[in-house]
Structure 1
Amino acid sequence: MVNPVPILQTIATETWIPAAWEDFLTFADDPTLVGGRFYYDQGEMRIEMSPLGSAHGRDNTIVSTLINLYAAMRSFPMQGFTNTTFRKSGLREFQPDLAFYIGEPGQTITFPARSNAAVNLNEFDPPSLVIEIAASSLEDDRTRKQALYQRAGIREYWVVDVNASQVIAVEPSKATQLRRSQVLPGLEIDWVDSALKRAQTEDDGAVSRWFLGLLTQ
């Protein structure tokens, strides 16, 4: 018997290519590709299979920690999701590094149901904040994915430039760069930049204590 050709040998990865939705699902729902990240928008798909280094993982952890601390200290209702798939069937799919549903203090908001399936964007609103941690994918994260998130109705989008230890925050609907978060009012993007730089020489506890000190001044 002839062994089947590994599925990813038949297509290009780390780039956008034309694909029907049904063909995209062949890859996105293949259990052997569970380690990949999948995007679909306007009849094109992108599959990312590159290994993620310690710099990527470190920045992911620091940014997530800061957002959780800020929301807790300022009483924002929030739920965060790591490497979670969001799907609007037949139209688009994205799997960002981090995504957050965020409300205003005292507000009751509906979070996605707990499930091992993709978050169904026909049933739930899209996240308030989406974050991509960018090393080799910086150009795509700042262009093609930003356009995807604009069409998806994401209110705020951050690209974390791993090499520069810097956050590029935008309001996708206006392509306007932000220096202060709009979904987490009062959070300065410069604070996040400083935390990323500190994390290169300090441990998580030290970075967290520094950040909490800013919030309690």
Structure 2
Amino acid sequence: MSEQLSTAISIAEKQISQMLTMQDAMNSRVSDTWRANGYEWYRAIWVECAEMLDHHGWKWWKHQEIDVAQVQLELVDIFHFGLSLRLMTGDDVAKITSDLAKELHQGTAESDFKIALENLASSAVTKKAFDAKALADCMSLMNMDLDELFRQYVGKNTLNFFRQDHGYKEGSYIKIWHGEEDNEVLAQLVNELDAGADNFQQQLYAALEAKYPKN
């Protein structure tokens, strides 16, 4: 392994390790017995794949524009479910981290986004598994590297925590903030803050708190 590749893998492992920790915390926030609950994470993946295809466009009989930002957001959602599936395998976090870092770096070099997406969905449907190489292909074709995945993942994870803390599960959460959906507010805040800061998640949560409509 070249020194450059080794450095890239090392950085990837650090980011993935952080995301695995955050995913475990988020799942535990929803249910402290999430590992034993039998949630169908694989089903969430293929459903998100179908939704993403609509944002990308697949209808040959009409003109469609690719909504890159929305496709990227769907990829981040899928990664949440993919991390959860890997955590359910029983492997230790170090092995999961190492495997994901290599798979996300490699991909398969698929050049057709729709085929790459179908590979991702197929693995979820037929093997009930998360195909990280297929996700890497989708990311590459949407100009999304691991740094961008990390930035958007931390953002969405923080919003998910915020939602839970403000009544999402009970149905009292307010999703429209002064005329904008919370996802839109999140995107603005993530771009304004320094994603490389050690306390990025804490800063983002505080910014969300300041923007949230008060009853």
Common topology (TM > 0.5):
no
Structure 1 or 2: larger helix share?
2
**Structure whose residues are more often strand by fraction:** 1
TM-score, normalisation: structure 1: 0.31
